[in-house]
């Protein structure tokens, strides 16, 4: 036995190290809170919350300033942060939720709110929203409402789609700027004049080569800045109101597809292969290679950085005058597993974000999103936030007919399936009828796999 002493003490030491190491990663959040001296003067108990958000360099700095301000106002709440660039943020978040170590409140892309809600990771905020927020003062509270009328998040900033147009390219071609009365057909007629091939011919000229386009009339990709608003304004769509069934295979969608496929085959609209020759799908318009784009508010930054001479207007109408803009309300979501105490502290943060004019103003100045609070959005802080685009009001007006992107728990997956089939039609590898019927089956299969289990 004596000889084994070395072994046991060694194992004991190892065990201690392991326990210590796992304790550090698991309980670190709580330990940090307990270590800071409690502030007695406000009588409240110290609460520490973990706040997660995705960010770029500039937004990270601004966010930290706003958090400091929040802590000053709420001396009993300490905020620890966790931030990362967009992609990494979600990868980490999902594994953290799995391990029960997710932030108490996090910034969710608008299209993911329902994923967290329907998989039981997000807290139902209906009661608190009804109690503390006056719905008429905000844009987009309803964008996080599910079919049963429950709210799962509060918008942090709003992205809504409008039509961007490059004034220089319009001037050069001697064409009038887009009007608010345009239908999609009007857009295409003008776009044809703005589509130029390698030989300098436009899509209207004889001998125009759609395979060697240098400048496109309209750039267009995927759902948000692509097919969503076209299909919706033609009276079609992808999912029903509950977002649990496919409504892909309809005559309205076929009409919308005829408009899109024709535009791509004539070289007027960027098709999926055209897009691959650019650095990214979003690079076409800022590089001056397209006269128009469907774009959300965040695209203002890239257009300004590129020094384009451009403006924005409402998206065109469908044949029957229906108009639909895509909208994404990136939102604060509270962790379902957080303790009541932490959840309430997290709610204080959300309230601070939404209700305080100063916070809203500072975030607006950053220029990433349309502010949630109407009083700020309708003031010069937003409307005169920069020289370009001059017609910022178009973003607010678009919210009147904006629709969310059929968000649900399997959004990413059905969008992928739809895109696959749509691309076959866009590239002429399948007829529109075939693509729509295949897309219908594929999207329904994805939905059934989750909702009919």
Partner 1 sequence: MDNTLIDKTKPKAELLPHGKPARKRTWDHEGRWGLLMASPYILHFIVFVAGPLAASLYFSFSDYDMLNPPEWTGLDNFRRMADDPMFWRSLWNTLYFTVLFVPLQTFLALVLAVALNQRLKGLKWFRMAHFIPVISSWTVILYVADAVFNPRFGLANMLLQKLGLAGQGWLQDPKLTIPLLVMIAVWKGIGYIMVIYLAGLQSVPGDLYEASEIDGAGALRKFRYITIPLISPTTFLVLIMSTISTFQAFEQIYVLTGRGDISAAGGPNHSSLVLMLYLYREGFTFMRMGYASAIAWVLFMILFLLTLIQLRGQKKWVHYE
Could you list the residues that contact partner 1 (CB under 8 A)? 3-4, 6-7, 10-11, 14, 18, 87, 91, 94-95, 97-98, 115-116, 119-121, 211, 272-274, 276-277, 280, 410, 412-413, 415-416, 419-420, 423-424, 427, 429
Given a contact cutoff of 8 angstroms between Cβ atoms, the answer to whether 158 and 298 are in contact is no
Given a contact cutoff of 8 angstroms between Cβ atoms, the answer to whether 291 and 216 are in contact is yes
Q: Which is nearer to partner 1, 7 or 35 (CB)?
A: 7
Given a contact cutoff of 8 angstroms between Cβ atoms, the answer to whether 180 and 314 are in contact is yes
Q: Which is nearer to partner 1, 171 or 412 (CB)?
A: 412
Q: Buried (b) or exposed (e) across 393-419, using 16+ Cβ within 10 A?
A: bbbbbbbebbebbbbbbbbebbbebbb
Nearest to 160 by CA among 399, 400, 363, 371: 399
Nearest approach in angstroms of CB 281 to partner 1 is: 8
Q: Which is nearer to partner 1, 14 or 24 (CB)?
A: 14
What is the chain's Cα-based Rg? Answer: 25
Q: Which is nearer to partner 1, 116 or 401 (CB)?
A: 116
Q: Which is nearer to partner 1, 24 or 34 (CB)?
A: 24
Rounded to whole angstroms, the Cα distance separating 232 from 404 reads: 11
Nearest approach in angstroms of CB 337 to partner 1 is: 10
Nearest approach in angstroms of CB 98 to partner 1 is: 4
* Whole-number Cα distances in Å, 410 to 110, 120, 219, 329: 13, 14, 27, 17
Q: Which is nearer to partner 1, 123 or 373 (CB)?
A: 123
Nearest approach in angstroms of CB 443 to partner 1 is: 14
Question: Three-state SS for 173?
Answer: helix
Rounded to whole angstroms, the Cα distance separating 155 from 344 reads: 17
Q: Which is nearer to partner 1, 141 or 405 (CB)?
A: 405
- Whether the bond into 405 is cis, omega within 30 of 0: no
Q: Which is nearer to partner 1, 199 or 273 (CB)?
A: 273
Nearest approach in angstroms of CB 321 to partner 1 is: 34
Nearest to 188 by CA among 168, 166, 223, 218: 218
Rounded to whole angstroms, the Cα distance separating 16 from 440 reads: 57
Nearest approach in angstroms of CB 416 to partner 1 is: 5
Q: Which is nearer to partner 1, 18 or 375 (CB)?
A: 18
Nearest approach in angstroms of CB 400 to partner 1 is: 31
Nearest approach in angstroms of CB 439 to partner 1 is: 13
Rounded to whole angstroms, the Cα distance separating 244 from 410 reads: 10
Instruction: Point out which residues pair with 311 in neighbouring strands.
Output: 165
Nearest to 331 by CA among 159, 79, 130, 135: 159
* Residue 394, H or E segment: helix 393-398
Given a contact cutoff of 8 angstroms between Cβ atoms, the answer to whether 233 and 401 are in contact is no
Rounded to whole angstroms, the Cα distance separating 216 from 207 reads: 17
Nearest to 440 by CA among 258, 247, 260, 257: 247
* Whole-number Cα distances in Å, 130 to 75, 143, 229, 392, 452: 26, 15, 31, 30, 32
Q: Which is nearer to partner 1, 99 or 135 (CB)?
A: 99
Q: Which is nearer to partner 1, 291 or 381 (CB)?
A: 291
Rounded to whole angstroms, the Cα distance separating 114 from 106 reads: 14
Nearest approach in angstroms of CB 311 to partner 1 is: 28
Nearest approach in angstroms of CB 117 to partner 1 is: 11
Nearest approach in angstroms of CB 214 to partner 1 is: 9
Nearest approach in angstroms of CB 424 to partner 1 is: 7
Q: Which is nearer to partner 1, 356 or 423 (CB)?
A: 423
Nearest to 297 by CA among 370, 390, 208, 378: 370
Rounded to whole angstroms, the Cα distance separating 276 from 205 reads: 26
Nearest to 269 by CA among 253, 289, 252: 289
């Amino acid at each position: 036995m004596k000889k084994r002493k070395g072994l046991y003490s060694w194992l004991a030491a190892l065990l201690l190290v392991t326990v210590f190491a796992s304790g550090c990663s698991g309980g670190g959040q709580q330990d940090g809170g307990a270590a800071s001296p409690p502030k007695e003067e406000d009588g409240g108990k110290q609460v520490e919350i973990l706040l997660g958000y995705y960010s770029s360099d500039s937004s990270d700095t601004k966010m930290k300033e706003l958090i400091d301000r929040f802590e000053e106002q709420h001396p009993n709440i300490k905020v620890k942060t966790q931030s990362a660039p967009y992609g990494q943020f979600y990868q980490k978040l999902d594994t953290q939720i799995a391990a029960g170590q997710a932030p108490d409140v996090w910034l969710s892309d608008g299209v993911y709110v329902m994923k967290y809600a329907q998989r039981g990771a997000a807290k139902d905020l209906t009661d608190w929203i009804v109690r503390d927020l006056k719905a008429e003062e905000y844009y987009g509270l309803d964008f996080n409402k599910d079919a049963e009328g429950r709210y799962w998040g509060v918008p942090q900033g709003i992205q809504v789609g409008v039509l961007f147009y490059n004034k220089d390219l319009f001037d050069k071609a001697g064409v009038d700027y887009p009007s608010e009365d345009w239908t999609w057909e009007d857009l295409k007629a003008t776009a044809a004049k703005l589509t130029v091939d390698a030989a300098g011919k436009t899509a209207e000229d004889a001998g125009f080569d759609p395979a060697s386009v240098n400048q496109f009339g309209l750039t267009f990709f995927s759902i948000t800045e692509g097919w969503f608003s076209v299909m919706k304004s033609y009276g079609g769509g992808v999912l029903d109101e509950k977002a649990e069934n496919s409504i892909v295979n309809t005559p309205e969608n076929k009409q919308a597809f005829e408009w899109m496929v024709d535009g791509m085959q004539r070289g007027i609209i960027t098709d999926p292969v055209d897009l691959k020759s650019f650095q990214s799908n979003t690079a076409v318009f800022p590089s001056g290679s397209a006269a128009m784009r469907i774009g959300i508010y965040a695209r203002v930054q890239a257009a300004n950085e590129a020094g384009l001479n451009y403006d924005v207007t409402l998206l065109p109408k469908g044949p029957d005058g229906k108009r639909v803009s895509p909208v994404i309300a990136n939102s604060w979501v509270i962790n379902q597993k957080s303790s009541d105490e932490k959840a309430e502290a997290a709610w204080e943060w959300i309230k601070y974000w939404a209700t305080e004019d100063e916070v809203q103003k500072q975030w607006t100045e950053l220029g990433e999103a349309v502010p949630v609070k109407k009083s700020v959005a309708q003031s010069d802080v937003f409307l005169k936030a920069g020289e370009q685009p001059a017609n910022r009001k178009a973003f607010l007006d678009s919210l009147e007919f904006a629709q969310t992107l059929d968000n649900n728990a399997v959004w990413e997956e059905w969008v992928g399936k739809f895109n696959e089939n749509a691309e076959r039609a866009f590239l002429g590898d399948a007829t529109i009828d075939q693509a729509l019927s295949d897309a219908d089956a594929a999207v329904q299969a994805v939905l059934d796999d989750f909702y009919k289990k």
